[in-house]
């Protein structure tokens, strides 16, 4: 059996990560309320008490307030830092008086973003920094310089990317001494085809994504941790009744419920367990502040170990209209 790439590097063995996008309140510039800080504290406590030690941030989440709320909790409980692996992301810039919404992998922006992230989180280093989405204007030499400066200063220990393909990863690594150890991708039961048919389908609701350039296999070979964002697909199969489902999704939702009842577990555990059953040792990033939802997700680790090849394919085929990709 394979080991998680992050565990191989003795960074963390946490099979799940808690996504912190919902911390801090609304996506605006309003001050953080005491209620939001308390909500963040309860979510952190639920995660740590459930064995989740990996926390995923980005500098844009709730306009920086997600990191700020997290920082409030750490400042009041400094001993928590040693129990955590904290990663954050930078590179996305919102529209402002300078320009439109854009990506920015310039050395200046990366270095400045990390300083601001550390200040908001009230910590002296990030365990992992991810580049947030590809920047078409990326200068790999400039990114390499930023990585080197962050590493030598002790502000960042490891580096990774999000939503990048194999060629983009190889280009960055060709110019940098730092190996990329994470690639965060959108992956879920209804949005991923593991069978390479040589096509890439746009990531739109109700469509599947093929990683046609051998991205998953490349990550496995190079020990790059694949992390899955939106692994529960907005709760399509685990209780969100506000979404309009396709015929395949509705039938798969019934199948997930049937499996959960038979195994005495939660809907979330079945959906996440399916994703984690893949040999790449995918690490789902569950984005919630709901304490019960965090706890409901934890049994996915056990379900991963119990899920048979036949059960995995039953879910896979069902979610694709009862046919293989």
Polymer length of the chain? 325
- Candidate list 61, 103, 175, 313, residue with the active-site label: 61
C-alpha dist (Å) from residue 304 to 49, 194, 271, 300: 20, 17, 10, 6
Q: Is 37 left (phi over 0), alpha (psi -120 to 50) or beta?
A: alpha
CB of 155 closer than 8 Å to CB of 204: no
CA distance 126 to 7: 17
Residue 211: other Cβ atoms inside 10 A: 20
User: Residue 241 has which token pair?
Assistant: 């009744």
Burial level of 114, CB count in 10 A (0-12/13-18/19+)?
A: buried
103 is catalytic: no
CA distance 170 to 156: 21
Catalytic residue positions?
A: 61
């Amino acid at each position: 059996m394979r080991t998680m790439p992050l565990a191989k590097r003795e960074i963390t063995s946490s099979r799940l990560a808690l996504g912190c996008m919902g911390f801090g309140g609304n996506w605006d510039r309003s001050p953080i309320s005491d209620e939001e800080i308390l909500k963040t504290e309860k979510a952190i406590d639920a995660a740590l008490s459930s064995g989740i030690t990996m926390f995923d941030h980005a500098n844009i989440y709730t306009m920086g307030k997600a990191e700020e709320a997290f920082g409030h909790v750490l400042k009041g409980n400094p001993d928590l830092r040693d129990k955590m692996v904290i990663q954050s992301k930078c590179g996305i810039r919102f529209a402002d008086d300078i320009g439109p919404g854009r990506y920015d992998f310039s050395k200046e922006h990366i270095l400045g973003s990390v300083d601001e992230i550390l200040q908001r989180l009230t910590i002296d280093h990030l365990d992992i920094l991810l580049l947030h989405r590809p920047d078409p204007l990326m200068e790999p030499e400039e990114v390499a310089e930023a990585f080197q400066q962050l590493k030598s200063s002790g502000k960042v220990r490891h580096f990774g990317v999000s939503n990048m393909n194999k060629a983009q990863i190889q280009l960055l690594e060709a110019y940098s001494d730092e190996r990329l150890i994470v690639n965060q991708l959108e992956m879920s039961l209804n949005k991923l085809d593991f069978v390479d048919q040589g096509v890439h389908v746009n990531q739109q609701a109700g469509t599947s994504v093929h990683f046609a350039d051998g991205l998953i296999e490349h990550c496995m070979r190079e020990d790059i941790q694949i992390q899955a964002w939106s692994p529960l697909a907005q709760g399509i199969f685990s209780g969100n009744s506000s979404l309009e489902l396709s015929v395949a999704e509705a039938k798969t939702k019934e199948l997930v419920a049937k499996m959960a009842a038979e195994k005495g577990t939660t809907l979330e555990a079945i959906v996440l367990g399916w994703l984690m059953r893949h040999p790449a040792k995918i690490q789902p990033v569950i984005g919630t502040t709901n304490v019960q939802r965090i706890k409901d997700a934890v049994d996915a680790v056990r379900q991963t170990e119990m899920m048979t090849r036949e059960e995995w394919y039953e879910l896979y085929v069902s979610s694709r209209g009862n046919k293989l990709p």
